[in-house]
Amino acid sequence: MKEILLVDKPAGWTSFDVVAKIRGMLRAKYTSEGHTPTKKQLKVGHAGTLDPFATGLLIVLLGDATKRSDEFLKLDKVYEATMTLGSVSSTGDPEGEIVPISDHKPSRQSVEVALAQFIGEIEQRPPMHSAIKIDGQRAYKLARKGQEVEMPLRKVTIHSIELLQYDYPEVKIRTNVSSGTYIRSLARDIGDYLDIGAYCSDLRRISIDKWNIEDAAPIENIDL
């Protein structure tokens, strides 16, 4: 049985949905072979959450490999993201309340200048709708209750940002970032720098260190 699976997560699925699906596939595989699986054999985890709206590489760990999750969480990651300019989102993504801010259309040069401001080590404030714990509770749960919480700043490193396409209001980028970086926060901050607002409207994880999306399979094609 494999211990590390590379899954191309579809949009609309939570990372936990993927874990639950693979656990069910494992149970079915053992049962079809005439075995009753142990708890250890059904142990499944993932190494780095992807937001439900996001797609791309999700590393799923099986059995003893679940003990190594921290190794993967600390690795650099590469994302391709689309930012929509001129509006903000309550969650930083398409699933939140979208509010128009400005109809100003910045030049490509202005966008490139804005992107450059965020390369290197920066201080970033994670979005309220995130899994970070505040006083023992997940921030997104507090947000859903309507509670306003000041999210603590954290230092992250943006190794590179490449402008792939600009067709107002959409800006498509590829960015290599350190562990702990929120692309939704990056999009929000770029929008703030341009003074027109922005949110992350599409997100795809391309790689986690040496593991690449090209080697991943859709959930329905996973080979156990």
Catalytic residue positions? 51
Q: What residue type is 56 in one-letter code?
A: G
The four Cα atoms 44, 48, 54, 57 give a dihedral, to 10 degrees, of -70
Give the whole-angstrom CA distance, residue 65 versus residue 3.
6
Q: From residue 110, how far is each of 57, 115, 117, 118, 158 by CA, in Å?
A: 31, 9, 11, 14, 19
Give the whole-angstrom CA distance, residue 42 versus residue 28.
11
Short-list 188, 166, 186, 175, CA closest to 105: 166
Q: From residue 151, how far is each of 15, 80, 102, 120, 155 by CA, in Å?
A: 23, 25, 26, 21, 13
Structure tokens at 8: 């191309």
